[in-house]
Amino acid sequence: MTIANSNLRGQLLHAEKMAKYTSWRVGGEADRMYIPADKPDLELFIAELDIDEPVVWLGMGSNLLIRDGGIRGTVINTRGKLKQMQMLDDTTVYVECGVPCAHVARFCSEHGLSGAEFFAGIPGTMGGALKMNAGAFGAETWDLVDSVEMLSIGGKTAQRNADEFKVGYRTVKGGGTACFLSTVLSLKKGGSSQASQKKIKKLLAQRATTQPTNLPSCGSVFRNPANDFAARLIEASGLKGYTIGGAEVSSKHANFIVNTGNAKARDIEQLIEYVQTEVAKQHAIKLHTEVCIIGDKSA
């Protein structure tokens, strides 16, 4: 891949190690990584890519397992770069894809809006939350989405309404290969900012009590099956604390796999597969991953 446009203002890196960009702290090298200066710069870069260039979008690197063999193609890293957020009117907020979800919760609280407090419990950016309909504390991203802005290979952008997508539990269909550039969220006036911030603090305290926030993880590994919880099934299978290499099923929350310090991506992937096998064997339920697993396995 060759980028000849001298007007680009972002940073193009080659053979970049991905472990430092993922919340699990694992992953091999990406052929290329582009860190855009802002949204117009990203649009310009995408317009320069070959139509068949493999592209991976990266925010905070949570909910993502990059294998030890790395990524062939180009990684677009939007974290902290597409970070515009503003009030459009009394109850709607414009958010670009690189804004951390926790910042969205705080921004809405400071502006007297309710309904976005749950974003404080999502360890990712708005782009990732839109892609998978991320949720926490019983609420989900697309409950608030009014519209989105999409970017496709070739640099074309399009505005689309929320009702053009088929949205379910941790799934969003209808976007094709395009990525989410930004969204407009519709909220409610929520009374005092202090009350909203108090709710956020309570939710964060609940998260710290129930989840292994002190060790590298991706958040929840498995989707909850219908009328049950993945964590309950994993714990009932006797797997809390089970380890493969440096990867461990958290003894604090069974739907978390943590890196105890020296894990490889292959340890984590093997542990995921082992948990699936044991739960299926003992409970006749197949657990489906919430985390996205990408890249090449090492030789």
CA distances from 30 to 2, 9, 214 (A): 16, 20, 27
Mutual orientation of helices 193-210 and 101-110 as an angle, nearest 10°?
A: 150
Q: Which of the residues 220, 237, 266, 269 is marked catalytic?
A: 220
Decide: helix, strand or coil at residue 103: helix
Q: Catalytic site residue 290? A: yes
Q: Which of the residues 79, 106, 170, 266 is marked catalytic?
A: 170
Instruction: Name the residue with tokens 């082992």.
Output: 274
Alpha helix locations (H) across the chain?
A: 39-48, 101-110, 126-132, 193-210, 230-236, 265-283
Q: Catalytic site residue 170? A: yes
Q: Which of the residues 29, 96, 248, 290 is marked catalytic?
A: 290
CA distances from 122 to 22, 92, 213, 287 (A): 15, 20, 12, 21
Q: Catalytic site residue 220? A: yes
DSSP per-residue codes, 233-262: HHHHTT-TT-EETTEEE-SS-TT-EEE-SS
DSSP 8-state secondary structure symbol assigned to residue 59: S
DSSP 8-state secondary structure symbol assigned to residue 206: H
Q: How far apart are CA 132 and CA 128, in angstroms?
A: 6
Active site residues: 170, 220, 290
